[in-house]
Structure 1
Amino acid sequence: MKPIIFCDFDGTITETDNIVSLMTHFVPEQSEKIAKAMMAQEISFKEGITAMFELLSTNQKEDIIQYLLDTAVIREGFSDFVRYAQEHNIPFYIVSGGVDFFIQPMLERFGPFSGIYCNSADFTGEQISVVYPNRCDEQCANVTTQSCGCCKPTVMRKMAQDDHFKIVIGDSISDFEAAKQADLVLAREQLIDRCKDLHIPYQPFNTFYDCLETVKKLVEA
């Protein structure tokens, strides 16, 4: 068995969703309308994220980074979980619908990782513009619309080999398509319900110590 890990960031590695947190702090009224449209699936995740960040000035970059560094809480056990993967040469990819300019500073002390796949920020204009480098491949249902933003299933197809045992760690509907490709899902919150509905193998977790015990059993069996 050759495990490979694909892990979400917001609400998974961190206790809360950082995009929701910063939007609530900096532009609460405007962003709430967009968030409701996303939850009602009236607009795609990509459309919603684009619209939210366009509410923010590029001059706010350092304030946003500092706010999240001060307020975001890394889920308990993450450091030990990463260290175990490093010591056992388990490929560990962060795959997130978040944005690089705040994800990378928050993860810097835990790396190195096999790769960090997320969206990018463009600060050349007056408002923050989100760039989507991880596009849907031809096997994605959204290849025509490119509405995934950061297409997690595409990243998995690119990185995982046929003999890999694919572990997906996540918490929300944005992780659901990736979960369909997994051999095992470590799930929280909304993702648990989705896995139950489609009978996808999963283990619930609260901390990364729970994840660590599950992975240890697979590796050391």
Structure 2
Amino acid sequence: MYDKIIFVDFDGTITTEDTLDGAMRLFVSKEEYDKKYREMIQGSITLSEALHLVFDNTPSSRFSEMMEYIHKVSTRDGFAEFLDEMKALGIPVVVISGGLRQLLEVKIGKYKEWFLGMHYVDLDISGDNMRLVSEYDDGKEVLKKTEIMAQYDYQTAICIGDSYTDINMAAASDVVFARDILADYLKKEGKPFISWNDFYDIIEAIKGFN
């Protein structure tokens, strides 16, 4: 059993923008994107359904556009130093992302040995159209993060996230670092969290209570 464990999101957390959202925008018009977003907010379709509608109907030949896009996205300041410090403190880091394997591999594949685990959605491009593949797709979330968290044995869970997809992960954690949409949601719900701007902020906070 681990004393402490860190579960960190990828899109918009490790990266400076949501790359899954960015990839989605490559393949649909602004009008169609806005329509699907409104439907998700209203609850008429789930995130999983919206993602499948986009990616499962996109020709695999357009995969190269996504790869060109991801190379332009930056990782958030202090991430490499964060991994160094957590290793020194003996706190394992697990990446849990509803993002695509190919995107994660480009941006953080070089850190693979630093993670206790990496969980993501795969994108099958072997057929005419792309196909999202996830064994943790429950029809609502394309990757149910709490189900993955349950696979690990720990006393204290520390969550780092930024968006709607991190809400359930945050609810299942003891300490939550939140920014952007996730922070706004938790503030509205009156739930405690630690705000952060970059990974240097997280390093200092964890060193303070470790």
TM-score by length of 2: 0.90
| Distance change >3 Å, CA 148–CA 27, structure 1 → 2 | closer
| Paired residue secondary structure (1:35) | helix
Structure 1 stretch 48-57 or stretch 31-40: which is displaced more?
A: 31-40
Deviation for aligned residue 1:50: 1.0
| Paired residue secondary structure (2:150) | helix
Out of 192, 196, 204, the residue aligned to residue 201 of structure 1 is: 192
1:34 and 1:52 in contact (8 A); partners too: no
Distance in 2 of aligned mates of 1:209 and 1:174: 23
TM-score by length of 1: 0.86
Distance in 1 of aligned mates of 2:197 and 2:209: 19
2:158 aligned partner = 167
Distance in 1 of aligned mates of 2:178 and 2:208: 17
Out of 109, 119, 122, the residue aligned to residue 120 of structure 1 is: 122
Alignment of 1:168-183 (within 5 A): 168-183=159-174
Deviation for aligned residue 1:206: 0.8
Letter in 2 for 1:73: S
Give me the identity figure in percent. Answer: 28
2:70 and 2:106 in contact (8 A); partners too: no
Distance in 2 of aligned mates of 1:200 and 1:158: 25
1:117 and 1:134 in contact (8 A); partners too: no
Structure 1 stretch 205-214 or stretch 83-92: which is displaced more?
A: 83-92
Deviation for aligned residue 1:80: 0.6
1:8 and 1:175 in contact (8 A); partners too: yes
| Paired residue secondary structure (2:170) | helix
Letter in 2 for 1:98: G
Deviation for aligned residue 1:24: 2.7
Deviation for aligned residue 1:202: 0.8
1:4 aligned partner = 5
| Aligned residue pairs, count | 207
Structure 2: tracts of 5 or more residues without a match: none
Deviation for aligned residue 1:54: 2.5
